[in-house]
Structure 1
Amino acid sequence: MIVTDTHTHLYSDAFEEDRKEMMQRALNAGVSRFFIPAIDSSYTKAMLQLETDFPEQVFLMTGLHPTSVKDNYKEELAHVEDLLSKRSFYAIGEIGIDLYWDTSTLGIQKNAFRYQIQLAKKYKLPIVIHCRDAFNEIFEVLEEEKSDDLFGIFHCFTGTLEQAKQAVSYNMKLGIGGVVTFKNGKIDQFLNQMDLKHIVLETDSPYLAPKPFRGKRNESSYIIKVLEKLSELYELPKEDIAKITTENSKAIFKI
Structure 2
Amino acid sequence: MIITDTHTHLYSEQFDEDRSEMINRAIKNGVDRFFIPAIDSTYTNAMLDLKNDFPRHVYLMTGLHPTHVKPENWQNELKHVEDLLSKHKYFAIGETGIDLYWDESTLDIQIKAFEYQINLAKEHKLPIVIHCRKAFDEIFQVLHKNQDDDLFGIFHCFTGTFEQAKDAIDLNMKLGIGGVVTFKNGKIDQFLEEIDLKHIVLETDSPYLAPVPYRGKRNESVYILNVLEKVSQIYGKSTEEIAEITTENSKKIFGI
Q: Give the TM-score normalised by structure 1.
A: 1.00
Residue 112 (structure 2) pairs with residue 101 (structure 1): no
Task: Note the residue ranges of structure 1 that are not aligned, 5 or more in a row.
Answer: none
Distance 1:237 1:254 in 2: 25
1:56-67 aligned within 5 A = 56-67=56-67
Task: Note the residue ranges of structure 2 that are not aligned, 5 or more in a row.
Answer: none
Partner of 1:125: 126
Secondary structure in 1 matching 2:32: strand
RMSD: 0.4
Following superposition, the deviation at residue 28 of structure 1 comes to 1.3
Partner of 2:199: 198
Residue 250 (structure 2) pairs with residue 245 (structure 1): no
Following superposition, the deviation at residue 87 of structure 1 comes to 2.1
Following superposition, the deviation at residue 88 of structure 1 comes to 1.9
Q: Which runs of 4+ in 1 moved over 4 A?
A: none
1:172-183 aligned within 5 A = 172-183=173-184
Please list the CA deviations of residues 150-169 of structure 1 after superposition, one character each: whole Å capped at 9, or x if unmatched: 00000000000000000001
Q: Give the TM-score normalised by structure 2.
A: 0.99
Amino acid aligned to 1:159:
G
Distance 2:141 2:237 in 1: 35
Amino acid aligned to 1:34:
F
Amino acid aligned to 1:198:
H
1:85-100 aligned within 5 A = 85-100=86-101
Partner of 2:51: 51
Please list the CA deviations of residues 26-84 of structure 1 after superposition, one character each: whole Å capped at 9, or x if unmatched: 01110000000000000001000000000000000000000000011000000001101
Secondary structure in 2 matching 1:150: coil
Amino acid aligned to 1:46:
A
Partner of 1:4: 4
Following superposition, the deviation at residue 86 of structure 1 comes to 1.6
Amino acid aligned to 1:248:
N
Distance 2:178 2:233 in 1: 15
Distance 1:81 1:191 in 2: 36
| Percent identity (aligned) | 73
Distance 2:254 2:40 in 1: 21
Distance 2:144 2:89 in 1: 27
